Amino acid sequence: MRYTTYAAIVIGSRNILLRVYTIQGSGIHLLDSVSHEYDLGREAYTRRYISLAQIEEICQVLEDLKGKLAEYGVDKFRCYGTSVIRRAANQLAVINHIRIRTGLKLVILGNSEIRFLMYKGIQLSGLDFDSIIQKNTAILDIGSGSVQVSLFDKKALYMTQNLDIGTARVRELLDIVERYSLNYVSVLEEYIEYEINAFKSSFLKDKLIKNVIVIGDESRNLNRIAPELNLADAVHYDQICYIFKKLKKASYQDIAFQYGLSMEEARMVLPSVIIYKLFLEQSKADTLFLCGTNLCDGSVVDYAQETKKAVTAHDFYQDIIASARYIGKRYRYNKNHAEYIRSLSLDIFDHSIKYHGLDRRDRLILEIAAILHDIGKFVNMNEPGRNGYQLILSTEIMGLSLRERREVAGIVLYSTEEIPEPGEGDVSFLGDAYLRIAKLTAILRLANALDRSHKQKFKTVSMARKGKELLITVESDQDMTLEAAIFEKKAEYFNEILGIRPVLRQKQTI
């Protein structure tokens, strides 16, 4: 059977990683893995700048890795930059240097995109993921810049939150604290404990977590530190405490020498173990599942799903929707109304695809906008669109890039306000997406008109295209005067943007 050779390159704070895979019906298999170790994070996170010498090193490594791509006859590959480049003030210069020197197009990932890909990578880890998340489960994705906590209950993702306690950031604090205190480990514990306690009081509250899945490079080093424990995929709280005691009185040099770690790994492992320990204490969980997945693994799963070249067991699409619903719940949205508008919006999208020409990703953007279109009322009833716009921009949505989040926010804003003409008003944030946003906004406005009373008056709704008309037939025994009047007004804009006129027809129930 024909297989596809896929590769992913990730430029991180501590290494540049290349992984090559084969994809076919039977699954995804790793062919080769190459890593170039360095310390890009220290300077980039503190100075927010990547030096020319570091850029030169990156370009040289990428040139070498291109030889590997040719060696394996790679059909498709992606090259990613993470937060270490995203946060750099000279980000554009770095991207430009890489493109000119190597010909590689670098995709800079936002935090929510990185976390979603890492989460997808669990599918290649060997863990029985769907079985573990049957009970309340937290995924700790420990990165250099931050820690992402995602919570599952009965297989459904219901919350994700970013904590500013990544290993590189904690290490920066450690460098300062060591100058002033011999008991620096206690100070470090206090710092991390505050962040985890704040998360618990705001999001966990009295909810009990049964399992914790840890993603990150440091999880792989636990066996090297405590081989006598014979750790497998699962680690218990008392074992984490045992490892913590071994580390807390040792210097980085001793840790590196004794356990065969690089100095960089030795400096990172203690902050990671403290995070494991404190999270288990605060969440009352007793089992930590170690998952050594990485962005490359997530990338190949994402590509296989996107191209339908392999089937994965877990439905990641629904996790994005669940994340949006959680945001709606946090801002006390009207769940029944939001789900009604979501369903109507998707029906209108599907029945007018010939006229709007949008794709599946645009459908997802519309679905999230429909779920969140009214959350601005949490702030002020008078300007729900503008308030919702601000809330969405300041809230991460699992699996969406910053650009896509801006698009969702724009649709919500213009569902209640007029979209300025190109060149008029502040629509510069839409850029090339102006027409797409206008089309999706027209669909959401029309759907919202059909439940203006928030009473879900229709027992059934059916749609069909007839010539240049989109016939929407509803069955209801209630007065539809309000909905019909608003619908007529929104139908004009819909026709203007999409070139098909919506027509509302009512069937009286007997």
Residue 476 has a pLDDT of: 87
CB atoms within 10 A of CB 507: 14
Contact 331, 378 (CB under 8 A): yes
Average pLDDT over residues 140-158: 81
Residue 52 confidence (pLDDT) above 70: yes
Q: Are residues 83 and 159 in the same domain?
A: no
Residue 358 confidence (pLDDT) above 90: yes
Residues 6+ apart with CB under 8 A from 380: 387
DSSP element (H, E) containing 473 = strand 469-476
DSSP element (H, E) containing 117 = helix 111-121
Kindly indicate the confidence band of residue 181, based on its pLDDT and cuts at 50, 70 and 90. Answer: low
Measured distance CA(452)–CA(427) in Å, rounded: 27
Q: Give the residue among 284, 302, 268 at the shortest CA–CA distance from 188.
A: 268
Residue 490 confidence (pLDDT) above 90: yes
Residue 424 has a pLDDT of: 64
Pair of tokens at residue 236: 């218990």
Does some domain include residue 120? Answer: no
Quick one: the chain helix, strand, coil %, rounded to 5? 55, 20, 25
Q: How many CA atoms lie within 13 A of 97 on its CB side?
A: 18
Residue 231 has a pLDDT of: 79
DSSP E strands, 218-376:
234-236, 287-291
Pair of tokens at residue 1: 């059977």
Q: Are residues 399 and 490 in the same domain?
A: yes
Pair of tokens at residue 187: 């100070």
Q: Which of 100-109, 136-145, 382-391, 393-402 has the lowest mean pLDDT?
A: 136-145
Average pLDDT over residues 373-402: 90
Q: Which of 305, 339, 373 is the last residue of a domain?
A: 305
Does some domain include residue 286? Answer: yes
Residue bearing tokens 């944030």 = 429
CATH of the domain at 37: 3.30.420.40
Q: Are residues 258 and 342 in the same domain?
A: no
Residue 107 has a pLDDT of: 94
Residue 332 confidence (pLDDT) above 70: yes
Kindly indicate the confidence band of residue 234, based on its pLDDT and cuts at 50, 70 and 90. Answer: confident
Does some domain include residue 204? Answer: yes
Residue 141 has a pLDDT of: 86
Q: Which of 12-21, 135-144, 319-328, 479-488 has the lowest mean pLDDT?
A: 135-144
CATH of the domain at 256: 3.30.420.150
Residue 502 has a pLDDT of: 95
Average pLDDT over residues 42-53: 80
Does some domain include residue 397? Answer: yes
Burial class (CB in 10 A: 0-12, 13-18, 19+), 185: middle
Q: Are residues 275 and 330 in the same domain?
A: no
Q: Are residues 99 and 130 in the same domain?
A: no
Residue 428 confidence (pLDDT) above 70: no
Q: Which of 53-67, 304-318, 320-334, 335-349 has the lowest mean pLDDT?
A: 304-318
Q: What is the DSSP letter of 315?
A: -
Report CA 139 to chain centroid distance, whole Å. Answer: 13
Residue 1 has a pLDDT of: 53
210 three-class SS: coil
CATH of the domain at 420: 1.10.3210.10
Taking the complete model, does pTM exceed 0.85, yes or no?
Answer: no
Q: What is the DSSP letter of 195?
A: H
Contact 345, 370 (CB under 8 A): yes
Residue 154 confidence (pLDDT) above 80: no
Helices (H) and strands (E) in the chain, counts: 21, 14
> Strands 147-153, 27-37: parallel, antiparallel or unpaired by DSSP?
unpaired
pLDDT, tens only, 444-458? 999 999 999 999 988
Contact 234, 288 (CB under 8 A): yes
Contact 465, 434 (CB under 8 A): no
Q: Are residues 84 and 163 in the same domain?
A: no
Residue 130 corresponds to which amino acid?
D
**Average pLDDT, whole number, for the chain?**
87
Average pLDDT over residues 332-356: 95
Residue 342 corresponds to which amino acid?
R
What is the count of structural domains for the chain?
3
Residue 283 has a pLDDT of: 85
Q: Which of 143-147, 179-183, 436-440, 446-450 has the lowest mean pLDDT?
A: 179-183
Pair of tokens at residue 176: 């300062």
Measured distance CA(401)–CA(409) in Å, rounded: 12
Residue 263 has a pLDDT of: 77
pLDDT, tens only, 54-112? 999 999 999 999 999 999 999 899 999 998 898 889 999 999 999 999 999 999 998 88
pLDDT, tens only, 257-275? 888 887 777 877 888 898 8
Q: Are residues 103 and 133 in the same domain?
A: no
Task: From residue 234, give the alpha-carbon distance in Å to each of 143, 155, 223, 282.
Answer: 20, 19, 11, 19
Phi, psi of 342 (to 5 degrees): -60, -50
Residue 440 confidence (pLDDT) above 70: yes
Q: Are residues 190 and 105 in the same domain?
A: no
Does some domain include residue 212? Answer: yes
Phi, psi of 471 (to 5 degrees): -85, 120
Q: Give the residue among 258, 278, 287 at the shortest CA–CA distance from 188.
A: 278
Residue 412 corresponds to which amino acid?
V
Q: Give the residue among 132, 82, 123 at the shortest CA–CA distance from 301.
A: 123
Residue 143 confidence (pLDDT) above 90: no
Where in the sequence is the domain holding 187, given as residue range(s)? 126-292
Kindly indicate the confidence band of residue 331, based on its pLDDT and cuts at 50, 70 and 90. Answer: very high
Q: Are residues 241 and 131 in the same domain?
A: yes
Q: Are residues 96 and 152 in the same domain?
A: no
- String of b and e for 291-300 (b: at least 16 CB within 10 Å)? bbbbbbbbbb
Q: How many CA atoms lie within 13 A of 332 on its CB side?
A: 6
Q: Are residues 449 and 397 in the same domain?
A: yes
Does some domain include residue 116? Answer: no
Q: Are residues 192 and 325 in the same domain?
A: no
Does some domain include residue 310? Answer: no
Residue 18 confidence (pLDDT) above 90: yes
Task: From residue 109, give the alpha-carbon distance in Å to each of 81, 83, 205, 295, 453.
Answer: 6, 7, 31, 11, 41
Does some domain include residue 85? Answer: yes
pLDDT, tens only, 119-140? 888 888 878 888 888 888 899 8
Residue 94 has a pLDDT of: 94
DSSP element (H, E) containing 279 = helix 263-283
